[in-house]
Structure 1
Amino acid sequence: MLLAKKTSVIFKVLFTGGFVYFFWLMLKITLEYIPLQTDVSFLMIKQTEVETRPEYLTFFYTHVYTSIFVLLSGFIAILRRDFGYKGLHKTSGKIYILLLLIFSAPSGIYMGIFANGGLYSKISFLIMGCLWWFSTFKAYQLIREKKFEQHKQWMWRSFALTLSAITLRMWKVIIVYFFHPDPMDVYQIIAWLGWIPNLLLVEVLIRKKLI
């Protein structure tokens, strides 16, 4: 029991430190799209969609601008009472669920239809987007039923998928640095690596009662 508690504390400290660092990196990426531009960063390789689908930019900017707040509010929500943020938990959780269900996940699912890397990448991003929406909606249902422990577990699953925005980019750097694959092959790989390991890790931590 004592070992499990120490492991849990270590995990939370490392998780917090890692999140703060990578959140800052994600914020810098988001700021690249302010003011609105259609030829910077990721959009430079999506010019076909930009030029042929007028709605693409609307979905893209909706996803980018809301996801950074989803990332932050989700992190604050899962800190819970362990870090002394009890007062913020409910409010940040509401913001997280509202933004994700109405804006971030639907726009992400739309973007998944046009994902780089071909069919395999598209399938992965569509599955992830649907699971992201479903796990969040499930957490919402459970908290309304006052099933607090189950709600917490489903929020962790949801946030594991939210963190794919970070882990996807981490895997991309690692794979490109060590293996130098074709760019489209990279997308096919990280499309799956970005979220499946996250969910598997969370399931292990839930079952070991570390979160």
Structure 2
Amino acid sequence: MLSVKKNIPNILKTLLIIGFGYFFWLMIKITLEYIPSKADVGFLMIKQTEIGQQPEYLYFFYTHVYTSIFVLLSGFSAILRKNFGLGNFHKNSGKIYIFLILIFAAPSGIYMGVFANGETLSKISFVTLGCLWWFLTFMAYRLAKQQKFKEHKQWMWRSFALTLSAVTLRMWKVIIVYLFHPDPMDAYQAIAWLGWVPNILLIEYLITKKKI
């Protein structure tokens, strides 16, 4: 019985890697739609008004798309840490993760949030998400510089919870559309919040209970 209990964490870790690998592949497929960069493909098909009125929109959009995939990868790599024999890799992955979010991914996400579909509710959600993402990541960076590594770890988990909104948003979209068949804009307003609020609440619960 004891050996079975010892094996459970390893099984969960393996499932975590497999699950992340699957969704990471889906994100890569989405990203590949925008290579080479075009103004009339995928999500951009419904953003022609913004592209026409705000020429810089495309630059922010592609900055966000191209950096976010590396944010996901570097963030997950940093989380693997010493448990997977990647202790030295953790620090470098964390630096890449923080740099990409603070300089590129979060600022471009905030800009895009201003022009989000779904009217005011969606705009508020995505702008709030971008601002929180930047702030939580900056706090993690600041605490690492101060060598407060326990607190740094907690803030990195908070940041990564929001990073995963790229995945959970799409999961919620599939669930809501399949179960309720809502109007597209109603669905978009719902997933705008469901994509990240449950993530951060779960992480706060786990931190409070000292599970991570």
Settle same-fold status: TM greater than 0.5: yes
Distance between the aligned counterparts of 1:200 and 1:85, measured in 2?
A: 28
Quick one: higher RCO (CA 8 Å, sep 6+), 1 or 2? 1
Match of 1:78 in 2: 79
Match of 2:96 in 1: 95
3-state SS, counterpart of residue 27 of structure 1:
helix
Distance between the aligned counterparts of 1:177 and 1:74, measured in 2?
A: 30
Match of 2:114 in 1: 113
Distance between the aligned counterparts of 1:10 and 1:169, measured in 2?
A: 26
Write out per-residue CA displacement over residues 31-90 of structure 1, whole angstroms, 9 at most, x where no aligned residue.
100011111110011111111111000000000000100110011011111111111101
Distance between the aligned counterparts of 1:153 and 1:7, measured in 2?
A: 23
Write out aligned runs for 1:1-211 (5 A): 11-211=12-212
Large movers: runs of 4+ above 6 Å: 4-7
Letter in 1 for 2:27: M
3-state SS, counterpart of residue 182 of structure 2:
coil
Distance between the aligned counterparts of 2:180 and 2:111, measured in 1?
A: 30
Letter in 1 for 2:135: F
Identity of aligned residues (%): 72
3-state SS, counterpart of residue 170 of structure 1:
helix
Report how many aligned residue pairs link the two structures: 210
**CA gap 1:34/1:166 in 2 versus in 1, 3 angstroms:** same
3-state SS, counterpart of residue 34 of structure 1:
coil
TM-score normalized with structure 1 length? 0.94
TM-score normalized with structure 2 length? 0.94
Letter in 2 for 1:95: I
Deviation at 1:210, TM superposition (A): 2.5
**CA gap 1:83/1:74 in 2 versus in 1, 3 angstroms:** same
Asked if the contact 1:161–1:199 (Cα under 8 Å) also holds between the matched residues in 2, the reply is yes
Which ranges in structure 2 are unaligned for 5 or more consecutive residues? none
Letter in 1 for 2:141: Y
Asked if the contact 1:7–1:210 (Cα under 8 Å) also holds between the matched residues in 2, the reply is no
Deviation at 1:206, TM superposition (A): 1.8
Asked if the contact 1:70–1:96 (Cα under 8 Å) also holds between the matched residues in 2, the reply is yes
Asked if the contact 1:5–1:210 (Cα under 8 Å) also holds between the matched residues in 2, the reply is no
Letter in 2 for 1:102: I
